[in-house]
Amino acid sequence: MRIDILTLFPELFDNLNSFSIIEKAIKSKKVNIVTHNLRDYADNSRHVDDSPFGGGPGMIIKIEPIDNCINKLKKDNTYDDIIYLTPDGEILDQKKSNYLSTKKNLILLCGHYKGVDHRVRDYLITKEISIGNFVLSGGELPAAILCDSIIRLIPGVIGDESSALSDSFQDNVVSAPIYTRPANYKGLEVPDILISGNQKEIEKWKDQKSLEMTKLLRPKLFDNL
């Protein structure tokens, strides 16, 4: 998979390439993340923003540098999706991450200031994704989160692929509680069933606890089961 990230602050992604699972995916050549500074695609003054027509506070990223960058990338690659990270996009969930992890080439557009010229949203992108109903300074952190949620699902990136399949929300439920050694820590004990060796009963316990946790923590998900 190739992920191209369009941003005004490419340096924010310098550490992403050396982070845990993402670093492993890059070293194994399962993923290539390339950042592009939108200022390099602006006019000679590297001017990427302007004030809004009709008045109002803040500045808006212009359409020209975004269009120039996307067109240049399209000359060399075919992209499955061009995604704009924006607070009013569709909320990112596990189903979307699963879907995007199967794609070959993606472009992620990071907004900043008050956002981008709306013609970008109307004509240049194919999806709009939000990580929640709140506003950040820009789309860089949401883009990093989206990358992590996608890359960890690519076959071969995680050593035990079944681990990702058992994550919360894969089956629209929250994962059951998890424990490890010691079985007794200062009187705090692990549920007996988990150390019983009865795998059939353990799986039944996990399924039941998963439903209970979903009802408690994500009641809307539980109601839709």
- Domains of the chain, by residue range, sit at 2-151, 168-224
| pLDDT in single tens digits along all 225 residues of the chain | 999 999 999 999 988 877 788 999 999 999 999 999 999 999 877 899 999 999 999 999 999 999 999 999 999 999 999 999 999 999 999 999 999 999 999 999 999 989 999 999 999 999 999 999 999 999 999 999 999 999 999 998 986 555 555 555 567 788 899 999 999 999 999 999 999 999 999 999 999 999 999 999 989 888 877
Which residue, 3, 149, 121, 19, is CA-closest to 60? 121
3-state secondary structure the chain: CEEEEEECCHHHHCCHHHCHHHHHHHHCCCCEEEEEEHHHHCCCCCCCEECCCCCCCCCEECHHHHHHHHHHHHHHCCCCEEEEEEEEEEECCHHHHHHHCCCCEEEEEECECCCECHHHHHHCCCEEEECCCCCCCECHHHHHHHHHHHHCCCCCCCCCHHHHHCCCCCCCCCCCCCCCCCCEECCEECCHHHHCCCHHHHHHHHHHHHHHHHHHHCHHHHHHC
17 neighbors 119 (Cβ within 8 angstroms): no
CA-CA distance, 123 to 119, in Å (whole number)?
A: 6
pTM for the full predicted model: 0.87
CATH node for 168-224: 1.10.1270.20
User: Which class is 2-151 in CATH?
Assistant: alpha beta
